[in-house]
Structure 1
């Protein structure tokens, strides 16, 4: 038995509900950090940033599940739906902190989206993720059939928009947003069929 086989055997014993409980605990912990002074002199900005980065990390993790299975045999497929919903959870938390605690005046929401391109890009990513979250259940899979897979490919442009949103937020040159965007692009390129790469190179 290989190491990957052993890891996959251990993963099969991990209940999905435990993944939800552990991974979603980050938001209340960060909120507590904010009110207790653990997020610096601007706790709202710190909370907003940390939640956004968590959303991006889980988005990258979700995109990595299929390549990890294909390339190294690590099977995390049973957690893919949970990772997707946890991503949306952190996106919603990030959006709520910005709208309610940072912006505070909800009447200015539309004007902020129009005025600031990075917000427009982030909102576009959020809008693309809404139907994915709504249809992440067995009933939707049965009802939509083959269309379900097509619909859930919206995660690809949503991921790119999320990476661009983070890059646009960066003040000055920062390597981290570029790394996230590069990883997202790489994880999407890996999904292209090998034959398509051969045709392009021919």
Structure 2
């Protein structure tokens, strides 16, 4: 994994986005291609959010170091979120006043826009210059991905009609991945003897 480059993440993401749009344009996505494209881009963003959140637990518990891919995964995730939003605003709603009205009146859109807003500063600072300038604050800023992931999953749960399994499973996975970051999770408990030795040292 150390020698594997990160650029294929961008290439595969762009190719998938183009393939989905091509299918919609050629009628391969059914009678409502715009909605199908929206959902495909939104689901891709959530899958990438999950992949990004899984990097740290995989390193911690499975000793699998995928840190070099995390930034590429994050940028690709934002790309799909933006594509999802633009498809909805330009191809579906097609009117700026209606876009704003939907954001205000429809709770699932309000939640989705809140998640998108949290991802904006992460996308802007996903470069080496920002890492150098922000220093330790960069990591703190990029923890906004945690609430953004939850909001994205809640948006999906609210969007679908009825209680469907896939959105609930994705929300559950995100919550588990976030829970694995809590202090003390996964650390072996010290025996009483070890505790006494450390307290005497």
Identify the residue that residue 86 of structure 2 maps to in structure 1.
96
Q: Which region of structure 1 is more displaced relative to structure 2, 19-28 or 51-60? A: 19-28
Verify: 1:172 aligned to 2:162, yes or no. yes
TM-score, normalisation: structure 2: 0.90
Equivalent positions of 1:20-99 (< 5 A) are 20-99=10-89
Deviation string 1:145-188 (CA, Å, 9 cap, x unpaired) is: 11111111100000000010000001012011100000000000
Q: CA deviation at 1:12?
A: 2.2
Find the counterpart in structure 2 of residue 189 from structure 1: 179
Tell me which residue corresponds to 2:131.
Answer: 141
The answer for the alignment partner of 1:200 in structure 2 is none
SS in 1 for 2:2: helix
Distance in 2, Cα, partners of 1:51 & 1:189: 26
- Return the offset for 1:33: 0.5
Distance 1:186 1:45 in 2: 29
How many residue pairs get aligned? The number is 188
**Distance in structure 1 (CA, Å) of the matches to 2:14 and 2:45:** 11
User: Within 5 A, what are the aligned runs for 1:107-118?
Assistant: 107-118=97-108
Q: Deviations over 1:99-120 (max 9, x none)?
A: 0000011222111101100000
Residue 4 (structure 1) aligns with: none
Question: How far apart in 2 are the matches of 1:94 and 1:170?
Answer: 15
Q: Distance in 1 between matches of 2:101 and 2:147?
A: 24
Match 1:160 to one of 131, 150, 169: 150
Q: Is the 2:112–2:152 Cα contact (8 Å) retained in structure 1? A: yes
The two structures have a TM-score, normalised by structure 1, of: 0.90
Could you give the per-residue CA deviations for residues 115-158 of structure 1, whole angstroms, max 9, x where no partner exists? 10000000000000000000011111111111111111100000
Q: Please state how far the C-alpha of 1:20 moved relative to its aligned partner.
A: 1.1
Distance of 1:96 and 1:38 partners within structure 2? 21
Instruction: Return the offset for 1:192.
Output: 0.4
Larger Rg: 2
Structure 1 unaligned blocks of 5 or more: 1-10, 198-202
Q: 2: distance between equivalents of 1:60 and 1:163? A: 10
Structure 1 residue 121 and structure 2 residue 111: aligned? yes
